[in-house]
Chain A
Amino acid sequence: MSKVSFTPIQPGDVASITAPNATMTATATATAAVNAENVRQEGLDERSISFPLVSTLSHNSGDWAKNITKSTSMWLKVPSGGTWTGGTGSAPTFSSGVPFSLTLGTNFSYAVIRYTFEVRIEGRVGSGNDVNEDLGFALFRNNILLPVTERHIQNSVAKSQAATKSQAARSVESVTLLFYHTLNGSYDFDLRYYIDNHGLGALNPDAANLGWVNGPSDAITISRLTASVIKYK
């Protein structure tokens, strides 16, 4: 039963403003009582009650790219957007680690964090040693590694040497890091990488033999990155 009902003005009523006003006032008063009993749920979306259930934050690098430092055997933040090169338009603006500060608070129940990018890796470590570097990526939460997000890639051709063109090789891989976060409180997330040289010296890019026609050349390059945090109510 509707709680909003009209008091119709009858033919023959005294011609004054009193009756129309009374009708409108009564209607306005009645609407204050609208509740779950008299609103059909299938009609709610037609009433323009459209509100966001999510809150999004995102960064992206466009087609810019960044050589990753040759420092090895430690987790380092991915360099800030201002240091990326080779792209079109404005350089990306994210800070090192492509970080997010995340607080679920009372409005949000969980968050999904995504990092997707492309990595190319070429060359080998040392001088003539038959081993390729191992490159790992992972998310850190409040400076603590989240092991479930670790992803690793290697140059796919063993004994890839920089000395000759014929023995140089590179790999190009899509990398996706995905994390489901439910902890309440304030947390800082960032993307880090780790280069394992197996104790066999510095990385040797094959840039001399495998020059890129676009973007920078180095042993390891990260590019085309999108990072996002989607908070859900």
Chain B
Amino acid sequence: MAFTNTPFVDGNAITEADLKGRIGNFETWLNGGSVTGDLSHGEWVTKGHVLRPEFIGGSDDRAEFCTGTTRYRVHTPDKVGAEIFHAEARGGGSGSGSDNWEPVNGLNVTIKVYRPMTVIYTASWLAWETGNSALQQCSGSNVLETEFLNNPNYVAADFALYSQKMDGTTASLTQYAATRRRLYSSVKLTNDKQNTDITGWSKSAGKQMATHHVFDLTAGIYNVGIRCNPQNGGGGSPFVTADGVNSQNIFVRARSCVVDAHFNAAT
């Protein structure tokens, strides 16, 4: 769209504001005043002029793009890259509320939202709990106690997608409840009288988890990603309430996430 001039009127006084205003208008046009209509103006905007969204690993934030950004993080299932929530380090037990939810390294990115944007978050991860010393899979009558599997009385951890503006407060902290996924405690097989060839702890509590969500953010810098709320395995019998006695370690191994941030109609 061509710059629209506002002519001076012959005979009128010219003030400093008149001059600054007109120069300012032109500067605005030259530096950033183009409008959507420009895209069809003479059809001179081609694909060559529009920067493609960059695909950037990690949270490094170095560029602005016309249509949005895409970021991803991946972690292979090796032990070095594992995210482990040890009983003594987690917020559960002494923490409360949102303090119990800890970002899962590898499933979180920092994004800069230049103007109102729509965020598309997709992630999958493998998690399990091990080290539970209280939950036994066999009763005294030699009956397999399968009731303990995936039982909500014995929750090892909850996972959920969060977004939080990096402004030093928790005012913007948002959990997207539709993304919550639950991990249940493993069971101890040492005293299993039916499966006597099995010893130690089972990793049957392990789960492949996946979720996605679409949500809008206003301008700002945000942390976006999955957070974990490690728990004591529940307060129900046979568990005791002291943290670290029951659910011991929460592992998150192979995991990946992709975060698309796109300009939207409100931009």
- A50→B207 contact, CB < 8 A: no
Residue B251 is within 8 A (CB to CB) of chain A in the complex: no
Task: For the complex, give the distance between the alpha carbons of A44 and B39 in Å.
Answer: 11
A44 to chain B, nearest CB (A): 5
Indicate whether A116 sits within 8 Å of B2 (C-beta atoms), given known contacts A56-B118, A166-B144.
no
Query: Which of B40-48, B82-90, B166-174, B224-232 is the interface stretch?
Result: B40-48
Within 8 A of B (CB), among A206-233: 209-210, 212-214, 224-226, 228, 230
- Give the distance to chain A from B65, nearest Cβ to Cβ, in Å: 6
Contact: A118 with B182, CB < 8 Å? yes
- Answer whether residue B26 sits at the interface, using C-beta atoms and an 8 A cutoff: yes
Contact in complex: B149, A170 (CB < 8 Å): yes
Task: Decide if B207 touches A174 in the complex (CB within 8 Å).
Answer: yes
Binds B, one of A28-36, A128-136, A183-191: A28-36
Q: How many residues of A contact B (CB 8 A)?
A: 68
A45 within 8 A of B: yes
**Closest CB in chain B relative to A29 CB, distance in Å:** 7
Docked-complex contact A45 and B51, CB < 8 angstroms: yes
Asked whether B177 is an interface residue with its Cβ less than 8 Å from the other chain, the reply is: yes
Contact flag A53-B262 (CB < 8 Å), given A25-B7, A87-B177: yes
8 Å CB contacts to B: which residues of A169-190? Answer: 169-176
Within 16-45 of A, Cβ neighbours of B (below 8 Å) are at 16-18, 20-21, 24-25, 27-29, 31-32, 34-36, 39, 41-42, 44-45
User: Does B179 have its Cβ within 8 Å of any Cβ on chain A?
Assistant: yes
- Asked if A72 is an interface residue, CB under 8 A from chain B, the answer is no
B72 within 8 A of A: no
User: B31-58 CB contact bits vs A (8 Å, 1 = yes)?
Assistant: 1111010110010111011110100000
B152 (CB) vs chain A CBs: closest residue: A213
Binding site for B on A (CB under 8 A): 4, 16-18, 20-21, 24-25, 27-29, 31-32, 34-36, 39, 41-42, 44-54, 56, 58, 60-63, 87-88, 114, 116, 118, 120, 156-157, 160, 164-176, 209-210, 212-214, 224-226, 228, 230
Per CB-CB distance, the 7 closest pairs between chain A and chain B, nearest first, are A32-B2, A169-B146, A60-B178, A58-B214, A63-B177, A28-B5, A53-B67
Q: Given A20-B8, A24-B7, A51-B267, 20 more contacts at CB 8 Å?
A: A17-B10, A24-B5, A24-B26, A28-B2, A51-B67, A56-B262, A60-B176, A60-B213, A165-B147, A166-B143, A167-B143, A168-B146, A170-B151, A172-B207, A174-B209, A212-B152, A213-B153, A226-B214, A228-B214, A230-B120
